[in-house]
């Protein structure tokens, strides 16, 4: 029976989706669609690996967070300040990220598509439970980021519902004009939301390269940024929902990697997560309740 193995693999694959999806919640709740998450993950995965190679995994994580945040800042300046269409700006970020990373890889490592091997963060194990054979894959040699990903769920719910920051962030995504007339700094909140989403996407990219793979490989994000966006929608813009959706997609990924059968060409098996994403979105979106003003550019002083 390999089911705990499978579950552990599903969780490992769900972690980047969950972290990025939680990030997406911050952006969308402030009213900004961040389709550039994929690009921010790419930037995070490379800068994380590159800095980890020279300065160790902790510095790598930090660098990835900063790089993701920087790219998010570009998205924020374009879509919040200059009111560029958020989708267009996000797509531009994705293209830019791909180019910047390839260029950097060549200039630093003289190789366009990979980095050298890097060390990961120290693994965690639960001493007592590791003895039980079938639990072992779940609690032995776990990346600390796995714990962090799950800790982000209650933390984000708390920030959104109990803090002044969360209330203002949500108000800006629902009715920016109302927020502005009450003295909330709409632009600042949107910048915060977008930059947090980029920082988390960067971290999630670093998880892929430093923790999951041990090196940067071009194309390693495999559209996870988009899947994370879908997970956030399926999770109805709530952290807990995003977690379940992330686990579901993680499970689909784990399955697509493990199912070995002669009956179906493996290309079709590999499609499972992506087909699942489309199906779920097609079925779910009718019932979803997005923030009322998501995707709409806001001009200061529209107040009437």
Partner 1 sequence: MGVSEAVLRVDGVTKRFPGVVANDDVSFDVRPGEIHAVVGENGAGKSTLMKIITGLYPPDKGEIFLRGLPAAFRSPRQAIAAGIGMVHQHFMLVQNFTVAENVILGAEPARRGLIDLREAARQVAELCRRFGLKVDPLARVEDISVGEQQRVEILKVLYRGADLIILDEPTAVLVPQEVSELFEHLLTLKEQGKTVVFISHKLDEVLRVSDRITVLRRGRVVGTVRTGGVTRQRLAEMMVGRPVLFDLRRSANPPGDPVLALEGVTASLGGREVLRDLSLVVRSGEVYGVAGVEGNGQTELAEAIMGLRPVDSGEIRLRGENITNLPTGEVRQRGVAYIPEDRHRRGLALPMTVWENAILGTHRSSEFASRGRLDLRRAFRATEESVLRFDVRLTSILAPVQTLSGGNQQKLILAREFRGQPAFILAAQPTRGLDIGATEFVRQQLLSARDSGAAVLLISADLEEILSVSDRIGVIYNGHIQAEFSQDEADPRTLGAYMTGARTRERKGAAGR
Q: Which is nearer to partner 1, 75 or 168 (CB)?
A: 168
Shortest Å distance, C-beta 163 to partner 1: 5
Shortest Å distance, C-beta 145 to partner 1: 26
The β-bridge partners of 142 are 124
Shortest Å distance, C-beta 188 to partner 1: 13
- Three-class SS state of 284: helix
Contact between 93 and 242 under an 8 Å Cβ cutoff? The reply is no
Q: Which is nearer to partner 1, 70 or 167 (CB)?
A: 167
Shortest Å distance, C-beta 31 to partner 1: 12
Contact between 61 and 74 under an 8 Å Cβ cutoff? The reply is no
Shortest Å distance, C-beta 109 to partner 1: 43
Q: Which is nearer to partner 1, 26 or 71 (CB)?
A: 26
- Three-class SS state of 54: helix
Q: Which is nearer to partner 1, 148 or 177 (CB)?
A: 177
State residue 121 phi and psi, 5-degree precision.
-65, 155
Q: Token pair for residue 298? A: 């806001």
163 exposure class (CB count in 10 Å sphere: 0-12, 13-18, 19+)? exposed
The residue ranges that bind partner 1 (CB under 8 A) are 162-165, 167-168, 170-171, 174-175, 177-179, 181-184, 286, 289, 292, 301, 303-304
Shortest Å distance, C-beta 35 to partner 1: 24
10 Å Cβ neighbour count for 181?
A: 12
Q: Which is nearer to partner 1, 57 or 291 (CB)?
A: 291
Q: Which is nearer to partner 1, 110 or 286 (CB)?
A: 286
Contact between 200 and 8 under an 8 Å Cβ cutoff? The reply is no
Angstrom CA distances, 294 to 27, 33, 148, stand at 9, 7, 27
């Amino acid at each position: 029976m390999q089911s705990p193995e499978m579950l552990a693999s599903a969780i490992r694959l769900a972690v980047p989706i969950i972290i990025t999806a939680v990030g997406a919640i911050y952006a969308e709740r402030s009213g900004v669609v961040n389709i550039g998450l994929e690009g921010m993950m790419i930037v995070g995965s490379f800068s994380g690996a590159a800095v980890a190679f020279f300065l160790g995994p902790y510095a790598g994580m930090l660098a990835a967070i900063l790089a993701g945040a920087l790219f998010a800042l570009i998205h924020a300046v374009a879509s919040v300040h200059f009111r560029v269409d958020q989708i267009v700006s996000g797509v531009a970020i994705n293209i830019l990220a791909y180019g910047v990373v390839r260029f950097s890889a060549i200039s630093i490592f003289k190789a366009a598509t990979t980095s050298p091997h890097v060390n990961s963060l120290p693994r965690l194990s639960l001493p007592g439970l590791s003895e039980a054979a079938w639990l072992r894959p779940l609690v032995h040699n776990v990346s600390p980021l796995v714990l962090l990903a799950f800790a982000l769920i209650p933390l984000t719910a708390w920030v959104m519902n109990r803090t002044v920051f969360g209330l203002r962030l949500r108000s800006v995504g629902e009715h920016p004009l109302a927020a502005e007339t009450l003295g909330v700094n709409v632009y600042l909140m949107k910048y915060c939301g977008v930059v947090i989403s980029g920082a988390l996407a960067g971290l999630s990219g670093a998880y892929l390269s430093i923790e999951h793979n041990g090196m940067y490989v071009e194309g390693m994000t495999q559209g996870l940024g988009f899947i994370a966006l879908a997970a956030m929608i399926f999770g109805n813009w709530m952290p807990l929902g995003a977690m379940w959706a992330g686990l579901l997609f993680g499970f689909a990924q784990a399955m697509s990697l493990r199912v070995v059968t002669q009956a179906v060409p493996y290309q079709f098996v590999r499609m499972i997560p992506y087909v699942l994403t489309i199906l779920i979105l097609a079925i779910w979106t009718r019932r979803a309740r997005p923030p009322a003003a998501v995707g709409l550019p806001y001009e200061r002083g529209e107040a009437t």
